[in-house]
Amino acid sequence: MPIFDCATLTDIADRFGTPVYFTDFSLIQEKFQQVDSAFSRLKNAGKRVKIFYSIKANSNPFIMRYLLSLGAGLDILSEGELALSLRSKASPSDLMISGTMLAEELLSQASGLKIKINLDSLESIQRGARAGLKRAGIRLNPLIEAGHHEKVRTATSASKFGIALEGYTIAKEEFRKRGLSLDGIHYHIGSGIETCDPFVRALSQICRTVDNLSQLKYLDIGGGYASSKGGKPFDFTNLVNSLIENSDLLPPEIYIEAGRYLVANSTVLLSRVTEVKSTSRRTFVGIDAGFNDMMRTVLYGAEHPFFTCGCAGKKFRADLVGPICESGDVFRTDVSIAAKEGSLVVFHDVGAYGYSLSSNYLTRPRPAEIASYKSRIFLMRKRQTPAELFSDVSWKSFSSFLKQASR
């Protein structure tokens, strides 16, 4: 029986309330094995392949720990992600930092723990040396414009990420001057990319630019593979072929950063219909999830597929909207839907940048996260309570302030 059937989903909604995120771990395993299998041919070319999960996509520690158990490393970008990775029992040797504008505190932590790190500016190389780094990689910008939205294209001429290819020689000299060993090269061109062509072009740019690339320890080719196209998995064939064809030019280790690809399809967001409202011009199906719970639509214009449970009536045209007091709180516009008060609306493909981008806007508690693993249901993260929303407020100071303000 499929895990995302209405009977199971209705039971989850009844037990844990809505809105709620529900993850099927078998789908994460399936996606990891797809990537691992696609790149396995590189072993015949003498290369060692390591998949690093970009935890910004979904930093639930259950998911992080599960991917570590499958053989993945973790790609982290902040002090908080580092702390969470260590709390999730990740070894420092399984971690990679590939962020931008990295603070000296994080650089110092990476140095002390000997975590692999890629530096993306001359300034970060200088800060890294001051923080005690002895070795690192360089993040380059191959100037390949790719990605499903302008906000996720990271290799354009206007991008804040990476060192331009023509600056590689200067960056390498900065490494030498600062006493840093150059371990590898990293690049990442964007997210939600549907074909191999941009990845192949980026690899070609790197191979032409970096002298003695094969003498380094690793090449980190980033990620950004679209989680699905027409329901089909990403076809890695041309990228893998290109890596094999250039294998003599490449280091012995190839790193892949996959975030959204591994987890996007694993999770659904369940929400209850609160009302069906008609005006003289439109009909609205209001649900109890808002863009604070899942903001990919308002941020990226993403249109997540959905279906409904608990309503067998005739379909009608409507806008699917949340309760946030902003006009942008719209999940879908002018869709065909069968819905009534109390029925369940299920959004697909929210495992990446769903919960991780959620917020307490309008002082709304964040949803619960539930998982299915080997036919068992786990509570991964409980729903926030209103009291927990205020736990960081200094009420003692508030009382003092109130006395002063009342004088």
Catalytic amino acids? 325
What is d(CA 358, CA 355) in angstroms, rounded to the nearest whole number?
Answer: 5
- Beta strands per DSSP E along 214-338: 218-220, 253-258, 267-278, 283-287, 306-309, 316-321, 330-337
What is d(CA 53, CA 351) in angstroms, rounded to the nearest whole number?
Answer: 13
Q: Output the furthest CA–CA distance in the chain (Å, rounded).
A: 78
Q: What is the DSSP string of 25-43?
A: HHHHHHHHHHHHHHTGGGG
Non-local (6+) Cβ contacts of 183 within 8 A are: 116, 135, 136, 137, 216, 217, 218
For helices 61-70 and 25-38, the axis angle rounded to 10 degrees is: 40
The amino acid that residue 180 corresponds to is L
Comparing C-alpha atoms, which of 109, 111, 115 is closest to residue 94?
Answer: 115
Please identify which residue in the block is written with the tokens 């309570």. 385
Comparing C-alpha atoms, which of 169, 165, 154, 50 is closest to residue 100?
Answer: 154
Non-local (6+) Cβ contacts of 166 within 8 A are: none
What is d(CA 374, CA 209) in angstroms, rounded to the nearest whole number?
Answer: 47
Q: Convert 127-195 into a string of H (helix), E (strand) and C (coil).
A: HHHHCCCCEEEEEEECCCCCCCCHHHECCCCCCCCCEEHHHHHHHHHHHHHCCCEEEEEECCCECCECC
What is d(CA 346, CA 330) in angstroms, rounded to the nearest whole number?
Answer: 15
What is d(CA 63, CA 56) in angstroms, rounded to the nearest whole number?
Answer: 12
What is d(CA 262, CA 63) in angstroms, rounded to the nearest whole number?
Answer: 10
What is d(CA 359, CA 356) in angstroms, rounded to the nearest whole number?
Answer: 9
What is d(CA 356, CA 16) in angstroms, rounded to the nearest whole number?
Answer: 19
**Residue 268, token pair as written in the block:** 């659904």
